[in-house]
Structure 1
Amino acid sequence: MDMASHPSRPNAPTAGEDQRADWAALALDTAEANGFYAPDMLGAAIDHLPGGQDVRLIEARDGAMLIGILPVTIRARHGRLPIGCISNWMHDHCFFGAPMLRRGHEAAAWRGFLAELDAAPWAPGFLHLEGLDAAGANAAAIEAVCVEQRRGWREIHRYERAMLRSDLSADAYWETQVRSKKRKELRRLQKRLGELGAVETRLLDDGADLARWCDDFLALEASGWKGENGTALGCKPEDAAFFRSACASAFAAGRLHMLRIDLDDRAIAMLVNFRHGDGAFSFKIAFDEALGRFSPGVLIEIANLHAVQDDPAIGWMDSCAAPDHPMIDSLWAERRTIVQYRIALHGKGRAWMERRVAFAMANGAETIARMLKGQR
């Protein structure tokens, strides 16, 4: 078995047609779905990478077959600690960090990743991984390989976020999981909104409409508080270009799931999801804040619930929301546990010693911090 990993040169990650074809094949046979590392999103993020970021793409192969891909970046600090480390790269609009692993090759892929990092003179400290599913294929493979190699590892943080995973129909889920008082209030808001004009909910199904829908989403998001704070996608040309590119690639691959609610043919709420495997990831939501009294953001989430539960090809959806999100937590009953790991890196000579010290220092500082917090 030939195991190899191939980092790109720093500050300018590249991916040619052959490499992206390999990614696409891997995405079709991945052990753990991740729409953010699928070729649509990852390729768009790399193509529109802001200057100054040091991103490397590590590939694990079995002979010529790609069995894993892990984007990484070098961090000068680990949280509050002045300790350099390697971390999985999650760009500004990435909300899940599980590397792509070929089904049946999960442990082999992780052996390849870790071997490359062990041998890399540019890899400081240890490997920090964030945004992983505690019950996912990556978590299981990491634990198995670390035990096998007697490699130190530690889970350093976890939280839960809303997830939609149910065999119920949309109507049954709505009736079962959402309080009757809330259902009554939302029906009232839908009725009041309908008094203002013609209300229509649509799912994007025609590629000829894609560019206009992207324009509408960018404008709608920028019209609210995100635009005022400069965090809307349309506020930065590279972010807007990334969004358009990701949507176009995902639509071509059958992975874009885009909804809108119109009032008299004008978008008042839009939601963008990216599908991968048998699941999907909720990406961005935008709504007309001038109509806030009608809760358009909640209304489009209700439409999304029906679109997902009525689509047999979508088995689940990750909200990608912050923990304890007041809106989505009240609508979706299921939860996904997201974790972070710290993994020791091996090596030779001075590199091995420096990495061993960095791993021990980070673990020690964390233990002391927890002890002090407990004393309070």
Structure 2
Amino acid sequence: MARPSPLARLVRTRRAPGRAGMMHAPSTLFLTHSAPVIGPCQVRLIPPGQLGEEDRARWAQLSRAADEGNIFAQHWFMDAALTHAPREEDVHLAVVQDRHGRWIGALPLFREKSFGRWPVRIWTSWLSTNQFLGTPLLLPDHGEFFWRQLFAHLDSHSEGEILLFLRQLAFDDSASAALFAHCAATGRPVRMTQRHERPARRPDAPEGAPGDRKTASRLRGLRRKLERDHGKICIDIIADGQNIEQWVDQFLPLEKSGWKGRRGSALGCDQATEALFRNVMQHGQGNGSLRLASLRAGGKDIAMTSWFETRTHGYGFKMAFDEAYRRYAPGQQLMQEIAAHIARRAHLYFDTCAPEGTTSYHKLWPHRRMIFDAAIALGSTPRRLAFETLMNARTFYANITAPWRRI
């Protein structure tokens, strides 16, 4: 019997001893189509303030033609995010384009002088405050070509960086498959540094009912109590975005009234994050991707949520609820309605984008999606040796400090 090829051995990871978040990446995830030959290309690192009209037109063209694996990477979201980025972050948009100027892929990057506690120079993928997926924007079937060109450029235009740190990639995305396939084929060292699962609905997976009987029964009981104590319950799902300004004006103070406001992390606590939120909501309304929902009791909004949809994918965005009604679990009640609404769209892949550590919504969704960070070696043999030394040192440090962290 023929031995399976490396590309056919899927999702094989081996953990470093005593370190749940530190592991070697699998050689690949699934097969991808080979990218067509497109001849000479150019890699550009463009400061956002230097993007010209022609660049923006090509960026928009790439967004229209790209895989729908990450709506947060599309030009209308990312351009707004980069506009509101802190000035101290020297972000560049890394663009791979062919000889005709057509953009093949784009990913925002910036340089850092440390990797966590370790004083080494690295490249890092940039994410905005409210961006929950870090996949690059890519033309279909061009993932391996994009990574090959980007790594070649970073290898040869170095200021001492020993790795590229990619954050919030999706394990089941074609861009991730192309990344691991390229690293396996070229012998470029790559390590996963952290991973977690979040609730999702995957049309390609065996269907399961959103939630279980016990959770559904509990929420039905809480809904009856909410209606008895506070009046008629109404759930509005808005797909056309006509009431967006009114909805946003109600959402911001609702979010700020809760724990996020007390911690200073609510959108309304910072002018830049509020402006970004309003900006992307308006753009989402304009391109038809924005969805809004509210749960009202006795005519008062007590839970509100927003998400984006493309033809094939959905992405959770921002949610808030009135903590005065916490005993009725209004956020879970609204999320249960959204899960049922999404389930009626059989072809839609929905990523809740729930933050790491959030477990209250897991029973409302039938599937899980793994999100991970990865470090990829850059440069010459000595720099790759430095990369391996760094990764081993991180593992050793994690092992010896694990008992103290548990205490």
Q: Structure 2 matches for 1:176-215, cutoff 5 A? A: 176-195=209-228, 196-215=230-249
What's 2:265 paired with? Answer: 231
Aligned match for 1:77, one of 114, 123, 135: 114
Instruction: Give structure 1 regions of 4+ aligned residues with deviation exceeding 6 angstroms.
Output: 373-376
Q: Distance in 2 between matches of 1:228 and 1:324?
A: 19
Q: Is 1:241 aligned with 2:275?
A: yes
Q: Distance in 1 between matches of 2:283 and 2:137?
A: 18
Aligned match for 2:93, one of 57, 79, 101: 57
Q: Structure 2 matches for 1:200-349, cutoff 5 A? A: 200-311=234-345, 315-323=348-356, 325-346=358-379
What root-mean-square deviation, in Å, do the aligned CA atoms of Structure 1 and Structure 2 show? 2.6
| Deviation by residue 1:291-313 (Cα, 9 ceiling, x = unmatched) | 1121111111012112212245x
Aligned match for 1:4, one of 28, 31, 42: 42
8 Å contact kept, 1:45–1:91:
yes
Normalising by structure 1, we get a TM-score of 0.88
SS in 2 for 1:363: helix
8 Å contact kept, 1:31–1:106:
no
8 Å contact kept, 1:106–1:137:
yes
**How far off its partner does 1:42 sit?**
0.8
Q: Distance in 2 between matches of 1:149 and 1:324?
A: 35
**How far off its partner does 1:365 sit?**
0.9
Q: Structure 2 matches for 1:154-165, cutoff 5 A? A: 154-165=191-202
Q: Is 1:107 aligned with 2:141?
A: no
Are the structure 2 counterparts of residues 102 and 365 from structure 1 closer, same or farther at C-alpha, using a change threshold of 3 Å? Answer: same
Q: Distance in 1 between matches of 2:63 and 2:310?
A: 8
Are the structure 2 counterparts of residues 183 and 167 from structure 1 closer, same or farther at C-alpha, using a change threshold of 3 Å? Answer: farther
Q: Structure 2 matches for 1:31-70, cutoff 5 A? A: 31=67, 33-63=69-99, 64-70=101-107
What's 2:13 paired with? Answer: none
Structure 2: any 5+ residue segments left out of the alignment? 1-38
Q: Distance in 2 between matches of 1:122 and 1:42?
A: 26
Q: Distance in 1 between matches of 2:393 and 2:107?
A: 27
**How far off its partner does 1:7 sit?**
1.0
**How far off its partner does 1:324 sit?**
5.2
SS in 2 for 1:81: coil
Q: Distance in 2 between matches of 1:257 and 1:174?
A: 24
Q: Distance in 2 between matches of 1:333 and 1:311?
A: 14
SS in 2 for 1:4: strand
| Deviation by residue 1:159-203 (Cα, 9 ceiling, x = unmatched) | 2222122489xxxx9994533232222112212222322322112
SS in 1 for 2:45: coil
Structure 1: any 5+ residue segments left out of the alignment? 347-351
Q: Distance in 2 between matches of 1:266 and 1:223?
A: 15
One-letter identity of the residue aligned with 1:94? Q
One-letter identity of the residue aligned with 2:45? P
8 Å contact kept, 2:129–2:273:
no
**How far off its partner does 1:78 sit?**
0.9
SS in 1 for 2:219: helix
**How far off its partner does 1:77 sit?**
1.5
8 Å contact kept, 2:290–2:308:
yes
What's 1:129 paired with? Answer: 166
One-letter identity of the residue aligned with 2:112? R
Q: Is 1:143 aligned with 2:176?
A: no
SS in 2 for 1:57: strand
Larger displacement relative to structure 2 (154-163 or 253-262): 154-163
One-letter identity of the residue aligned with 1:355? R
**How far off its partner does 1:364 sit?**
2.3
| Deviation by residue 1:260-314 (Cα, 9 ceiling, x = unmatched) | 11234432111111224511111111011111121111111012112212245x6
What's 1:92 paired with? Answer: 129
One-letter identity of the residue aligned with 1:369? Y
| Deviation by residue 1:218-255 (Cα, 9 ceiling, x = unmatched) | 11101111111110001001100000000111111111
One-letter identity of the residue aligned with 1:190? R
